[in-house]
Structure 1
Amino acid sequence: MNPRRLTREVKVGTVGVGGANPIRIQTMLTSDTMNTEACVREAIPILEAGCEILRLTAPSVNDAKKLKDFVAEIRKRGFTTPIVADIHFVPAAAMEAALWVEKVRINPGNYADRKKFAVREYTDDQYEQELERLEQSFTPLVLRLKELGRALRIGVNHGSLSDRIMNRYGDTPLGMVESALEFARVCRKHNYHDIIFSMKASNPKVMIEAYRLLVERLDAEGPDWNYPLHLGVTEAGEGEDGRIKSAIGIGALLEDGLGDTVRVSLTEDSLHEIPVCRKLVAKYNAGQASRLSISHPADGREARSTNVRVFVTRAQAGVRISDDVKPEGVYEEAGVVEVNPLTDFTVPAGKMVAVADGTPLEPIPAYRLLARKVAGRNPILLKDVLGPVTSADPEMNLLNAATVLGSLLCDGIGDAVLVRSERDAAAALRLAFNILQAAGIRRFKTDYVACPSCGRTLFDLQTVTARIKARTQHLKGVKIAIMGCIVNGPGEMADADFGYVGTAPGKISLWVGKQQVKQHIPEEQAVDELVALIQAHGKWREP
């Protein structure tokens, strides 16, 4: 891995983020912020599990006022963990929340703007007027945060970029970066620097590119733009899929030396996120670096093949889960040439190569170096480990495999993959295919974008997600977004085929792409209506 990017330290209460501090782990409560008792009950085991920064949503001024009671109850119980208010749409809620919490998170896409998916060509003068309006709306919060010694996260979400940004920069990582910098410039105008950035997306490739581009832009602005980064893949989902997506996005950036605090967004109880965060950051906080650091490819190349194959060892060759999940090559029989990329080597063009076991590098820098040396002349087989598996923790091995294979695939490296850290043959095969799908390389099953629950959620996400999966998990190649509220819904699910979004208590809207096609559906009917919608658009097949 690369040396960690040196950032300025930002104090969130008593907790330092960035600088020489360890990578901090955090999560977000799912309880209704208006229900202080429920929030405290949920928070206590999370804080006892080691959460270092805890966030709550404050969708209204009344919610923001209730933060006072929550903070008081938590402090009364001896917890000093800093509390963060999550703000969308309502600047007045941010102003109120700043009185009670150590940090405020705002979303640049909806702090001063309402997303309408309007198509409009802005002249330079009109765009400048929009920026002046933004500054007028945002400056009062900046001044209050500075006065009270609070921190700020400028938290961009790919799914909720403003119409202004969308029309000038498009639905792109560049648009995400520009959205953040617009707000950062207002902060700096008032000599306020307690800023942390995040660039979240449900697509790990988009998320990785956005953070890398942000750092490139910050470096270009000057050495005093070295603000810390909060890493996360939003709407990662649940179970193995959610952990794989998070590991690909977060792990790839940690390998680049980027990231000062992380949150894993799972459609599960928030308590389950803490051990995953801890495992993802463990080796980076321990300083377990390779002897050689190789940066990610700078040319932005795409994978040479969208049909990256899944290899197994000879001992695993008999396993088969389905027609779509089966071995596509046997390692020992494929004539793969193993090389040490630290040495000079010659391999005939077209011959598949892999990094040799025992190479004194971690897999990611080893394969980055190999890719540079073969320069497209040879297909590359990726291995998740380059020696004996030392961890007996299946989740740790899963996260490592996803980080290694997924981040390399997102960088366009790899024509085949081999999972060796999972001892069970069927589990190893399934994991390999799941990594390919999470990295956006292949689709072999239904793809779900499911947000983590929070206090804004208008239905039980875990129950509804399970219900939707039970009806639709056989629909290979179909992408379904399940969103608890409208905050990120339309944008984050724009590349989904179908969307299921909570719009009011007990009421659901259904979407096809960016188009809302049904609204105010009673929740008890909504899954049936979703199935009917899939059928009407010719995407349904019987299980």
Structure 2
Amino acid sequence: MNVPSRYCPSLLSYSRRPTREVLVGRVGIGGTNPIRVQSMITSDTRDTPACVKQVLDLDAAGCEIVRITAQTKVYAANLENIVREVRAAGCQVPIVADIHFKPDAALEAAKWVEKVRVNPGNYADKKKFEVREYTDAEYEEELERIREEFVPLVKLCKDLGRAMRIGTNHGSLSDRIMNRFGDTPHGMVESALEFARLAREENYHNFVFSMKASNPKVMIEAYRLLVARLDLEGADWNYPIHLGVTEAGDGEDGRIKSAIGIGSLLSDGIGDTIRVSLTEDAVYEIPVAQALAEPFNAGIPTRGDVTTEYVPSYDPFSYERRKTDVLTVEGHELGGDRTVRVFTTQENWNALAHKIHKLGDFKPEIVVEKSGVLEIDPRDEAAVAALNHSPVAQLVTVKDGLDLEPIHAFRQLAFVIDARHPILLKDTLTPPQGDTDFLQALLPAARVIGSLLCDGIGDAILVRGETAPGQSLRLAYNILQAAGTRIFKTDYVACPSCGRTLFNLQSTTQKIRAATGHLKGVRIAVMGCIVNGPGEMADADFGYVGGAPGKINLYVGKTPVKFNIPEAEAVERLIDLIQEHGKWIDAPAGEPVEV
């Protein structure tokens, strides 16, 4: 597949990707519009009063576009009533119908809403997990079948002035795509482009793309590849981009994972509308999304202009950790293939010294002032040359106080110094004075450090934007976990709930956390239904999935192994399954962690 080496004009300065404008009712996406914030209600689409209330609550919270599931034609028909009541209440927020599997539901929904979301992986395909080789002729036959199913929706949306999102999910690629391209970012992109070409054949252009995945690395690579491919297709393929990490989870973990995936792409100028998918009430997604979008909507400056462009020392379309020498710092090995270490300041170490034995997995490892780390300005050619002529490898970081965005500064550092030198990442180059708001510290730290880790840059990290000593350490470890860099606790893939959900996701997720939270390195997917596909659980060891009302199916990886378990028994049966596969340990007794 012919892909250029770049997905944005510069890896060392910010500029937002120029796109055409797509209108969703009265709301413009892309063009000169701000980055739009959207969410999704969780009520049963047949329950008009509940849906209307949730739409109005989201609108009051600042949500600019609201999505509602329409799993069948019957559900889609009730969108007429929901939209009528929402408008009667004086609310003009655009409504989006979320469609999976059912073209007739999409055709019904398009009559009533401003936008229709379709998933190319299941709009005209029922996944059979068939392994077969498609000849070119057979592949064309499949595309012709899709044309027959999809083009009627395109024509209706064009006639009615509706917008569309062509939204690929990592977990629900069609058998056709899986057999030709695999379960890969390449397959995600090609799946979306097939549908986009059909839309363009009808001279329909009022659509946006998305490439969602629960793994931030996969999500980042897929969006980068999509933008690179759109640039190759031509200047008029400048469609806006919707960003989201699907099944991000709840609490700090969900916010951190979303900030890594969404924030990384926004920092490179990619993204025109965003949704933060939390397993919480939908209104709690809005302030997180607003905080992620705000610095870019405010016109983030291109600071510390870089006059020389450097060739990246990594492939931005596939993950590989930067290869460095291994150093021993304060008794800890770092660099090479060793664990990414967590630094703290001497001041924070002193504040925690009396209870370090109680910090569990959140212990500080290295004090930055004692580490011998070399601070340099990556633009200082003399300093860079002196470092590169050094006979021994040196731990390096970017000097504080520079007028550079941290992501750009650390990328440039990685480009100009020899690969043998390990790098200490910092979330900010201007440490705050005094107390900080945790959300305001969490999101930038996750965006900066998580983005660089997903690029393979970084051998140690230091969080200083959060000034509370214990919280800064917890944040550092949780960023490493969310980036898949250092797994030290149970990892959860949990979807955000919607009208398709077959059990209470929030209470069930908390119940599963309480029972399994001590299983280090085990990954568990908690999913209200399987509409986004078992591929969303590709990295999970076990899955807890709604199969029918009150019934749960359990998975090992992508494979369902136990069916129709009564919900009241399902958590215990999940524990049994984990035990059967040799991954269960009893929770350790001891003092609670005081972080």
2:527–2:545 contact (8 Å) kept in structure 1: yes
Counterpart among 156, 163, 182 of residue 144 in structure 1: 156
Q: Which residue of structure 2 lines up, in the alignment, with residue 328 of structure 1?
A: 365
Task: Give the AA of the match of 1:447.
Answer: D
Q: What are the Cα deviations for residues 27-62 of structure 1, in whole angstroms up to 9, with x where unaligned?
A: 000111100100111221210111100000000101
Structure 2: distance between partners of 1:489 and 1:527: 21
- 1:203 counterpart = 2:246: no
- Decide whether the 8 Å contact of 1:306 with 1:441 is kept in 2: no
Question: What is the CA distance between 1:377 and its match in structure 2?
Answer: 2.7
Supply the AA of the counterpart residue of 1:424.
A
- Give 2:510's match in structure 1, choosing from 466, 481, 506: 466
1:184-236: CA deviations, max 9, x gaps?
00000000000100000000000000000000000000000000000000000
1:381 corresponding residue in structure 2: 424
Is 1:133–2:145 an aligned residue pair?
Answer: yes
**CA RMSD across the alignment:** 1.4
Structure 2 counterpart of 1:513, which letter? Answer: G
Deviation at 1:297, TM superposition (A): 5.7
Once structures 1 and 2 are overlaid, which stretch shifts more, 126-135 or 291-300?
Answer: 291-300
CA deviation digits over 1:379-424, x for unaligned, max 9? 1000001013278321011000000000000001111000001111
Question: Is the 2:436–2:467 Cα contact (8 Å) retained in structure 1?
Answer: no
1:375 to partner: Cα distance: 3.4
2:330 alignment counterpart = none
Moved more, 369-378 or 318-327: 318-327
| Counterparts of residues 369-408 of structure 1 (less than 5 Å) | 369-389=412-432, 392-408=436-452
Question: Which of 132, 135, 157 is the equivalent residue of 2:169?
Answer: 157
| Deviation at residue 325 of structure 1 after TM alignment | 2.6
The answer for the alignment partner of 1:312 in structure 2 is 344
Aligned match of 1:505: 549
Could you tell me which runs of 5 or more consecutive residues in structure 2 were left unpaired when the two chains were aligned.
Answer: 1-12, 323-336, 588-595
Q: Is the 8 A contact 1:483 1:489 kept in 2?
A: no
Which stretches in structure 1 are left out of the alignment for 5+ residues?
none
Shift of 1:359: 0.8
Equivalent positions of 1:275-286 (< 5 A) are 275-286=287-298
The TM-score normalised by the length of structure 1 is 0.98
Distance 1:418 1:236, change over 3 A: same
Following superposition, the deviation at residue 494 of structure 1 comes to 2.2
* Equivalent in the alignment of 2:242: 230
State the distance in 1 between where 2:432 and 2:158 align. Answer: 49
**SS of structure 1 residue aligned to 2:545:** strand
Q: What count of residue pairs does the alignment treat as equivalent?
A: 543
Letter of the 1:105 partner, please give it.
Answer: R
Question: What is the rounded CA distance, in whole Å, between the counterparts of 2:458 and 2:28 in structure 1?
Answer: 38
Secondary structure at the aligned position of 1:223 is classed as: coil
User: How far apart, in 2, do the equivalents of 1:232 and 1:249 lie?
Assistant: 7
Identity of aligned residues (%): 63
Following superposition, the deviation at residue 306 of structure 1 comes to 5.5
Equivalent in the alignment of 1:75 = 87
Aligned residue runs from structure 1 range 170-319, under 5 A: 170-291=182-303, 292=305, 299-300=315-316, 302-304=320-322, 305=337, 307-317=339-349, 318=353
Mapped to 1, the partners of 2:484 and 2:235 lie a distance apart of 35
Q: Which amino acid aligns with 1:244?
A: I
Does 1:424 pair with 2:468?
Answer: yes
Q: Distance in 2 between matches of 1:116 and 1:332?
A: 57
The alpha carbon displacement at 1:308 in A equals: 0.8
Q: Per the alignment, in what secondary structure is the counterpart of residue 565 of structure 2?
A: strand
Q: Report what 2:31 is aligned to.
A: 19
Which residue of structure 1 aligns with residue 376 of structure 2?
339
Tell me the distance in 2 between the aligned counterparts of 1:250 and 1:371. Answer: 22
SS at match of 1:224: coil
Q: Which amino acid aligns with 1:113?
A: D
Q: 2:40 aligns with which of 28, 46, 69?
A: 28
CA distance in 1, matches of 2:301, 2:374: 26
Change (3 A) 1:147 1:263: same
The one of 478, 484, 487 equivalent to 1:443 is: 487
Aligned to 1:496: 540
CA distance in 2, matches of 1:532, 1:413: 39
Secondary structure of 1:100's aligned partner: coil
Of 488-497 and 403-412, deviating more is 488-497
Give the residue type in structure 1 aligned to 2:413. L
Q: Which residue of 2 aligns with 1:358?
A: 401
Give the Å deviation of 1:481: 0.3
Q: Deviations over 1:489-520 (max 9, x none)?
A: 41111221000000110000000011111001
Counterpart residue type for residue 539 of structure 2: D
Structure 2: how far apart are the matches of 1:481 and 1:211? 23
Q: Residue in 2 aligned with 1:455?
A: 499
C-alpha separation in 2, matches of 1:81 and 1:306: 50
CA deviations 1:325-357 (Å, max 9, x no partner) are: 312211000000111112221223411111111
Give distance in 2, aligned partners of 1:199 and 1:169. Answer: 15
